[in-house]
Structure 1
Amino acid sequence: MEQAIAEQIDGRVLDPLVECISEGARRYGLPFARDLLAQLPRNADGFLPYHQAPAALDLAGLNYDVVERSRLPAGSTMLPAIIALGESGYVLLLEAQDDEVLVWRPDTGGEVWEKRSEFTENYTGRLIQIHGDPDRMRADEAPWHAKARTHWFWGELRRERKAFMPVLLASLLINLLAVALPIFTMNVYDRVIPNQAQETLWVLGTGVLLAFVLEFALRRARTSIVDEIAQRLDLKLSQKIFSRLLAVPLAERKGHTGSLAARVAEYATVRDFFASTSVVLVVDVLFLIVFVAVIAIIAGWLALVPLTIIALMAIAGFVLQKKVVEASQDAQADYGLQQTLLVESLTGAETLKAMGGEGGMLSRWHRLAEIGGHSQLRLRNINSVAVSLAQVFQQISTVSLIIGGYYLFAAGEITMGAIIAIVMLASRSLAPAGQIAFLLTRGRQAKETLASIERMFEGGDERKLGASVAPGSITRPRIEFKDAEFRYSEESPTALSGLNLTIEPGERIAIVGRVASGKSTFGRLLCGLYAPTEGAMTVNGIDSRQYRPQQLRSALGFVGQDAALFSGSVRENLTLGRMGISEEELVNAMRATGADSYLSRDAGGFDRAVGEDGRQLSGGQRSFLSLARAMVEPRELLFLDEPTGAMDSETEKLFVERLSKAMQPEQTLVISTHRPALFAICNRLIVLDKGRIAADGPVAEVLAKAGAARGEAS
């Protein structure tokens, strides 16, 4: 069913699920662009699968509820809704009557009334109710409402609230069944043994055994449900966190890579606390009242003993959790530093070996491990104190109940069996109560981790940048810089300043300059990886910040001199997960840059593994592959940063010839280079010096002026 039926509209392959989401956004007046969903995973056929619909609806700004029901909704209370059909893909259900339904079909792009009986034949029971964002209207009076609904974590947890109902029911039954053993013991001691009632003994024994079996089954069912919820949340939350990391603007990216990776890994602490074993513990703690109530029924005021012990455990938990939080924060910071050093050392292993720097790195690791060990030891000591206190409190409870029980027994108010029963009940009630300190500690750790991850969500989000007034695609871009300046951070010096130039469609431009003159930075600015900090850059007369970053980058391609390769095959590095790219397109891209010259000699072909960061390839091969990757999908403008820096003269000559033939007349080419051989395919030369334009004009004219200036200087 998840394989959508592709249609062709104006030469564009149509994904029914994406079109339904687009139509739903249009009906609620929300700006939507299909390229927003380009980052989401696709199935083998290149279409958005059903389980990715919630992520797509989040990006579209729509609220939704995923529903499974055997019958179509009646009336319009749950509509509109995206309906998953059999081989027909997806439609948008707008209205449902007794005999007819009104649907919007993506293949026709229009509404149509259909017979309900025929429509329900393909209905799969899965639908997604979509609705606008009422929180926008509530934002002024109740801003927390919108935050709770759209929060990356609480919003997903809220959608699973119905799934927790069986967990609560199972916990109630488990705790009620746990009373069976103490009651059985009390009756055996008080009635069966004194009367030697064997038949009663076997009846009671059979009943309690059945209770044990049922309790076991309920525990297994509860664990399975909780695990399923945790798995669903894990898939959704991990994707949200990872996609959010990828959506952070480069200008706002802060922190070490290892620390960021450690922070992301620790989100499991949050997930486990709210959707795993901690939930079961919290529920068990809530049901302590059941055991205390039974103790009160059997032994009256002796119920105050477990209540007092529970209160003391809670107080100890509050005291200890503050100490645990301090220790865990130190441990978290130390772990992040260790991860940063580990990532840097593994990435730069070749440099360390070449320069004999292993000893220095090992010394740094030893110091960090020593510091981290102290914080971990402190954390373990506090946890050990919490466990020991729980054991001591439980022992005090047992002794207190036996002493109190003696006086009640002497007064004839309770029996010997009742004393044994209340001791067993108290032990059962204090078992989850002994976890109060653990729960408070885990809860505080989860809160701190959640706050740490929250900081990743507070910055800019490229998926939300850009205005809806910009056209959907960029063709024949005319780019103009107006008094543009740029610096990477407030503390860093100005990288580019006073930029005033225009790049016309189809131009061939070479940019030269000394090291650190701003050539690479200019390319990053030109292709939308960064935005000017002062002044403006316009594309076809529109400020570049009005375009979505995805729009700019799909039209303006950037190939850096240190472009990254990823573990996988040559094919995977060329496509980077983009679907629908044919073998012929890959071959043409390789030929356009001359990369086919080395690939044709390799038995693996496109399936050849490149290794981590492309380490199984030579420097020239990595450069070729990065250049070919930019040619897989045609760009309106292409910026190449030192493309032939790792090539010999013969290879460079081949590359220039192939690139000249591959570039279409309307395509713009900008090359940053120190190699004069590339001037042959350029008609304009820009010289940068200290972040400013020192010269700009036809290649021959600029070179002549530079030669004359050198002659005068000599």
Structure 2
Amino acid sequence: MNARPPETGGGNAPNLPDTLTHDSLLDSVAWLCTHYGLGRSHAVLVSGLAKYGPLTPSQAIEALTQAGLAAKLVERPLTQLPEHLLPAVLLRRNGSACVLLGWRIDDSAEQDARIRYRAVLPELGDGPVECTAAELGETYAGYAMLVKPAAKVDARPDDLPTEPAGHWLLRTLWRYRSYYASAAVGAFLINVLGLASVFFTMNVYDRVVPNQAYVTLWSLAIGVALAMLMEAVSRHVRAHVLDTAGKKADLVLGTLLFRQALAIRMEHRPASAGSFAHRLREFESVRDFATSATLSAVSDLPFVFLFVGVVFAVGGPLGWIPLMMIPLIVGLGTIVQWPLARAMRENLREASLKQGVLIESIDGLETLKAVGGEGAMRHRWEAFSAKTAASSMQSRELSSMATSCVSFLQQMQTVAIVIVGVYLIGEGKLTQGALIGSVMLAGRVTAPLGQVMGLALRFQQAKSAMHSLNELMAMPVEHEPGQDYLAQPPLSGHVKLDGVSFQYPSAGLQQNAPALDQISVEIRPGERVAILGRVGSGKSTLLRLIARLYQPTEGKLLADGLDAAQIAPADWRRTFGYVGQDSRLFYGSLRENVTIGRPDVPATELLRVLELTGLDALVARHPLGANLQVGENGRDLSGGQRQLVALARSLIARPRTLLLDEPTSAMDSQTESQFIEHLKHATSGQTLVVVTHRTSLLALVDRIVIVDQGKIVMDGEKARVLAALSGQPEADEHPPQPEAQRNRAPKIRVVERGVQPGASPAESNGGVVSSAAEAS
């Protein structure tokens, strides 16, 4: 049905809500996803978006696209939205949004209220409501977001064509094809108008000078001046159009690359942050190559043969000279590309290593000064700098040699044309004006080729950078496009690992030992578990797997009986809050660091987590309050304060399960005692899993899991595990536990394969006894 509602005029006062209480555009997007069977929670929809406040229309389109829907924003009156385009999102004047479902004609109503629209108003709930055309039209801002399911390719055929490398770049540039079409028209005008100066010179030498025709001279001069003016304007317009397209593409591609960098799976993260940053920076080489200067030279290439044809028309046999120059210049450019490509690949690799040394040295400057390691890092820097300079010099020499050769061929072309032209003039087959015109036209033939040869170095830079960026874009990401997850799964914090193994990716030929080997453990809601073990036993890795920062190489990770692959990472991490050993703070204020994952939280929620973690005292003492600057990586705060900020950052999301990895490693005993008291209140009713070597933190838990060499060697109630570790019988004075807790934690489970032959559990885990048995 393609019917449209009839035109109406407003007459009644609007009854629609006029106050904005929440993000109605995000609610509308979530409603559409559910309507099309692609249910997404708010956390999943905004995951990875540059959202800082209410959702914007461009971000809403990006969220819908990531969810598997096609969307575009149009400016259209309400009466020009036919039903086959519905449901659609309407943007309203007060900054809110709603979903238009359809309309009907009510013959029993008055004339102004006959059209009844059905819409979902997020501030009134998820159900549809009816309103008159006047009520909806009064608040409609004139912009609608048309949404439909994106076409899906059947995955059954085995011969589906794969997208070529660099498709992400070509697809983006194709969006601005209208700009490049306009530039092509400009190139045509520029090259055609460029013929005016050639014909002007020919006519002056052949007709004006012999006849002293000054009136003709001025007429021709005025005409050629106008043509030159039009040519200059066309050049400026072409450059402006190409720069505009380049600016738009630069913004889109830069965002695309950074989003890809943030979405890479942790196990595929590059080993060197500096090299990875340099790889991203190499996008500038691609961007600079695709500037107006480069594209202008390329757009002039097709007109080379136009000028060759004109040379044949004007100078006759002289046209063979520039025609023979074309394969010579092209062949020279092809030959020099091979060694130039090899030199640029070496330069890119060495520059990446050099950048890695720089970033690593700056980040660890304090350590270098403390241990006197400046000399070692300087040695690395100078070695990579020498290699980079050598490869850069080699590439510049090759490029300079090619440019010099092209310049030599252009000069020899002029000499050859003049020599042959003099003989043709002597034979009466050519005029002086035709000779001069042929020289000028021959220059227009080889000029674009010379410009392109001059860009050979930048082309190889861009080519090497594209290869590196293609590798980046091909890296696996956490949320693959088109991947479907369960819509808003009801997660209680119950997690189970069944036969899970994990091995960190190896560097080069080095083979890493498994960090976890056939781990099976279950943590139920409300449990409070400590994970103990020697350094390097796999405790932190186990916590990272539960937080889904890494994916198991073997086995299953389940939450409430659901496989982790069925749950979106954003939904998972809202349930399982993770605070690592080295939780990094970012440059900015304390408020920005605490709310970085939830920038739209109200002030009351921020105050709540500050009080729970004890940071309210720090905020109260500082004149800037919550806006105090923490410095890069939190350097303006103490180690204990940084850990409190990291905890507050996790608590603000209200996770059901809190995963803490050595949360008090940088605290003194007094601060640690205060932290434990605050943590008791902060995690009341939550599941708690803590990795620690501090005995004081065991007061928070009722269950202990011992990990050794990637295996669980002991698991049970705290008192029984500590008694087993110390080699003493369990005391009888322990108060009886509630039935629920007795059912949660096993009394004690010793996995024999983790115990050395002939040794007791205490002897096998002597590294744990010294730190844990004291708490019994």
Given the two structures, how large is their TM-score scaled by the length of structure 2?
Answer: 0.82
Matches within 5 A, 1:490-501: 491-501=511-521
| Structure 2 equivalent of residue 547 of structure 1 | 567
Q: 1:390 aligns with which of 380, 387, 406?
A: 406
Q: 1:421 aligns with which of 437, 449, 453?
A: 437
Render the CA deviation track for 1:82-141: whole Å, top value 9, x for unaligned.
Answer: 6666556556788999x99999656466598986999699565x7766554446159949
Q: 1:527 aligns with which of 532, 535, 547?
A: 547
| Structure 2 equivalent of residue 50 of structure 1 | 57
Q: Could you say if the C-alpha distance between residues 56 and 289 of structure 1 is closer, same or farther in structure 2, counting changes exceeding 3 Å?
A: farther
Aligned residue identity for 2:544: R
Q: Could you say if the C-alpha distance between residues 387 and 74 of structure 1 is closer, same or farther in structure 2, counting changes exceeding 3 Å?
A: farther
| Structure 2 equivalent of residue 689 of structure 1 | 708
Render the CA deviation track for 1:336-387: whole Å, top value 9, x for unaligned.
Answer: 1101111111111111111111111111111111111111111000110111
Q: What's the secondary structure of 1:435's corresponding residue?
A: helix
Aligned residues of 2:725 and 2:762 also touching (Cα < 8 A): no
Q: Could you say if the C-alpha distance between residues 7 and 350 of structure 1 is closer, same or farther in structure 2, counting changes exceeding 3 Å?
A: same
Aligned residues of 2:102 and 2:119 also touching (Cα < 8 A): no
Structure 2 distance, partners of 1:65, 1:619, is 48
Q: Could you say if the C-alpha distance between residues 155 and 132 of structure 1 is closer, same or farther in structure 2, counting changes exceeding 3 Å?
A: farther
Give aligned-pair identity as a percent. Answer: 35
| Structure 2 equivalent of residue 38 of structure 1 | 46
Q: 2:623 aligns with which of 603, 617, 632?
A: 603
| Structure 1 equivalent of residue 153 of structure 2 | 136
1:175 Cα offset (Å) = 1.1
| Structure 1 equivalent of residue 358 of structure 2 | 342
My pick for the range that moved more, 431-440 or 88-97, is 88-97
Aligned residues of 2:529 and 2:689 also touching (Cα < 8 A): yes
Render the CA deviation track for 1:32-68: whole Å, top value 9, x for unaligned.
Answer: 5543332444566x22323435533442234566778
How many residues align? The count is 701
Structure 1 distance, partners of 2:129, 2:439, is 70
Q: 1:59 aligns with which of 18, 42, 66?
A: 66
My pick for the range that moved more, 582-591 or 25-34, is 25-34
My pick for the range that moved more, 254-263 or 224-233, is 254-263
1:494 Cα offset (Å) = 1.8
Q: What's the secondary structure of 2:465's corresponding residue?
A: helix
Aligned residue identity for 1:625: V
Structure 2 distance, partners of 1:411, 1:668, is 102
| Structure 1 equivalent of residue 641 of structure 2 | 621
Q: What's the secondary structure of 1:531's corresponding residue?
A: coil
| Structure 2 equivalent of residue 331 of structure 1 | 347
Matched, 1:651 2:671: yes
Q: What's the secondary structure of 2:189's corresponding residue?
A: helix
Aligned residues of 1:567 and 1:611 also touching (Cα < 8 A): yes
Q: Could you say if the C-alpha distance between residues 181 and 530 of structure 1 is closer, same or farther in structure 2, counting changes exceeding 3 Å?
A: same
1:316 Cα offset (Å) = 0.9
Render the CA deviation track for 1:378-433: whole Å, top value 9, x for unaligned.
Answer: 10001101110121111011112212222332233332122112211221231111
Structure 1 distance, partners of 2:213, 2:364, is 79
Matches within 5 A, 1:364-443: 364-439=380-455, 442-443=458-459
Aligned residue identity for 1:692: K
Q: What's the secondary structure of 1:652's corresponding residue?
A: helix
Matches within 5 A, 1:654-673: 654-665=674-685, 667-673=686-692
| Structure 1 equivalent of residue 221 of structure 2 | 205
1:28 Cα offset (Å) = 5.9
Aligned residue identity for 1:679: L
Q: What's the secondary structure of 2:441's corresponding residue?
A: helix
Matched, 1:455 2:471: yes
Aligned residue identity for 2:697: L
Structure 2 distance, partners of 1:532, 1:422, is 72
Segments of 5+ residues of structure 1 without an aligned counterpart are: none
Kindly name which structure, 1 or 2, has the bigger radius of gyration based on alpha carbons: 2
Q: Could you say if the C-alpha distance between residues 415 and 142 of structure 1 is closer, same or farther in structure 2, counting changes exceeding 3 Å?
A: farther
Q: What's the secondary structure of 1:482's corresponding residue?
A: strand
Matches within 5 A, 1:698-713: 698-708=717-727
1:467 Cα offset (Å) = 6.5
My pick for the range that moved more, 688-697 or 667-676, is 688-697
Aligned residue identity for 1:653: S
Render the CA deviation track for 1:303-333: whole Å, top value 9, x for unaligned.
Answer: 2221211221111111111121111001111
Aligned residues of 1:313 and 1:436 also touching (Cα < 8 A): no
| Structure 1 equivalent of residue 608 of structure 2 | 588
Structure 2 distance, partners of 1:496, 1:141, is 36
Q: 2:199 aligns with which of 183, 187, 191?
A: 183
| Structure 1 equivalent of residue 367 of structure 2 | 351
Render the CA deviation track for 1:63-83: whole Å, top value 9, x for unaligned.
Answer: 566778999988799888766
Structure 2 distance, partners of 1:275, 1:344, is 33
Render the CA deviation track for 1:657-695: whole Å, top value 9, x for unaligned.
Answer: 111112232x10111112222222222222222222233
Aligned residues of 1:660 and 1:681 also touching (Cα < 8 A): yes
| Structure 1 equivalent of residue 735 of structure 2 | none
Q: What's the secondary structure of 1:515's corresponding residue?
A: coil
Aligned residues of 2:537 and 2:707 also touching (Cα < 8 A): yes
Q: What's the secondary structure of 1:434's corresponding residue?
A: helix
Q: What's the secondary structure of 2:578's corresponding residue?
A: strand
Matches within 5 A, 1:547-586: 547-576=567-596, 578-586=598-606
My pick for the range that moved more, 65-74 or 636-645, is 65-74
| Structure 1 equivalent of residue 302 of structure 2 | 286
Q: Could you say if the C-alpha distance between residues 216 and 619 of structure 1 is closer, same or farther in structure 2, counting changes exceeding 3 Å?
A: same
Given the two structures, how large is their TM-score scaled by the length of structure 1?
Answer: 0.89
Q: Could you say if the C-alpha distance between residues 20 and 269 of structure 1 is closer, same or farther in structure 2, counting changes exceeding 3 Å?
A: farther
1:247 Cα offset (Å) = 0.9
1:15 Cα offset (Å) = 3.8
Q: 2:275 aligns with which of 256, 259, 281?
A: 259
Matches within 5 A, 1:227-306: 227-274=243-290, 276-306=292-322
Q: Could you say if the C-alpha distance between residues 223 and 76 of structure 1 is closer, same or farther in structure 2, counting changes exceeding 3 Å?
A: farther
Q: Could you say if the C-alpha distance between residues 465 and 133 of structure 1 is closer, same or farther in structure 2, counting changes exceeding 3 Å?
A: closer
Aligned residues of 1:264 and 1:453 also touching (Cα < 8 A): yes
Segments of 5+ residues of structure 2 without an aligned counterpart are: 1-16, 105-113, 729-759, 767-776
Matches within 5 A, 1:65-84: none
Structure 1 distance, partners of 2:337, 2:404, is 15
Aligned residues of 2:491 and 2:559 also touching (Cα < 8 A): no
Structure 1 distance, partners of 2:120, 2:167, is 32
Aligned residue identity for 2:63: A
Q: What's the secondary structure of 1:616's corresponding residue?
A: coil
1:559 Cα offset (Å) = 0.5
Aligned residues of 2:90 and 2:140 also touching (Cα < 8 A): no
Q: What's the secondary structure of 2:172's corresponding residue?
A: helix
Aligned residues of 2:39 and 2:487 also touching (Cα < 8 A): no
Structure 1 distance, partners of 2:134, 2:446, is 58
Q: What's the secondary structure of 1:186's corresponding residue?
A: helix
Aligned residue identity for 1:38: V
1:152 Cα offset (Å) = 2.3
Structure 1 distance, partners of 2:163, 2:277, is 26
Aligned residues of 1:295 and 1:422 also touching (Cα < 8 A): yes
Aligned residues of 2:724 and 2:761 also touching (Cα < 8 A): no
Aligned residues of 1:478 and 1:539 also touching (Cα < 8 A): yes
Render the CA deviation track for 1:149-198: whole Å, top value 9, x for unaligned.
Answer: 99422221121112211111111111111112122222222222222222
Structure 2 distance, partners of 1:711, 1:528, is 31
| Structure 1 equivalent of residue 530 of structure 2 | 510
Structure 2 distance, partners of 1:150, 1:133, is 22
Q: Could you say if the C-alpha distance between residues 20 and 165 of structure 1 is closer, same or farther in structure 2, counting changes exceeding 3 Å?
A: farther
